[in-house]
Amino acid sequence: MPTTNLTPSFIKSALHCADPAKPGTDRTIYWHQKLHGFGLMVTAAGHKSYVVQYRAGGVSRRFTFKGSVPLKAALKQAKAVIGQVAKGDDPVAQKREAEVGAKAAISGTLEVVAKDYLKREGGKLRSKAERERILKKYLTQRLAPARSTASSAQRSLSCSTASPTTMGR
């Protein structure tokens, strides 16, 4: 891989220099001469992104971030990533865990599942408008108040001193 002094003018003019005769050359990484592990990755289509390559737990990792940020900001981000690695962290693993956690938090709600269902199957349904109305009625109007009612009922039950036989009466 080529090593160069990354400058703003170089980044603007960087083109993919891969030899089409060589198989597997769909991207080129221009490594920074001064900051070890930091580089500019340019794909065959011309997309640019910054990379920080490091080893964590014996495994080579490549942390990427947008090539649209200025070089100074990219160097600052790269130094922060390298600092995390020096402390023993694995930024790529942390980023993946955060993405999985965010997706799980969002995708598990009934409202998201219902919207996904209508988006996916809505064109096939004859009664799409009716199903949207029913889901909206029960999800937004009845389910949200039920959550607050349920939590207040749990609080009152946990604070109650009544015996189990008199609670249902």
* Residue 158: predicted pLDDT: 42
Residue 23 maps to a domain: yes
- Separation CA 132–CA 115 (nearest Å): 9
Residue 167 maps to a domain: no
| Residue 72 and residue 80 in contact, taking contact as beta carbons nearer than 8 Å | no
For 10, the domain range is 3-88
Measured CA to CA in angstroms, residue 59 lies from 1, 38, 94, 97 at distances of 20, 17, 15, 17
Q: Cβ neighbours of residue 75 under 8 Å, at least 6 residues apart?
A: 35, 38
- Separation CA 151–CA 101 (nearest Å): 24
* Residue 142: predicted pLDDT: 60
Count of domains forming the chain: 1
Residue 71 maps to a domain: yes
Residue 78 maps to a domain: yes
Residue 107 maps to a domain: no
Residue 80 maps to a domain: yes
* Residue 167: predicted pLDDT: 43
* pLDDT profile of the chain (169 residues), mean per 10: 78 62 72 91 86 90 87 92 90 83 67 78 79 78 52 44 44
Residue 108 maps to a domain: no
| Strand (E) or helix (H) holding 141 | none
Residue 94 maps to a domain: no
Tell me, what CATH number does 55's domain have? Answer: 3.30.160.390
* Residue 47: predicted pLDDT: 86
Give counts: helices (H), strands (E), the chain: 7, 5
* Residue 168: predicted pLDDT: 46
* Residue 127: predicted pLDDT: 82
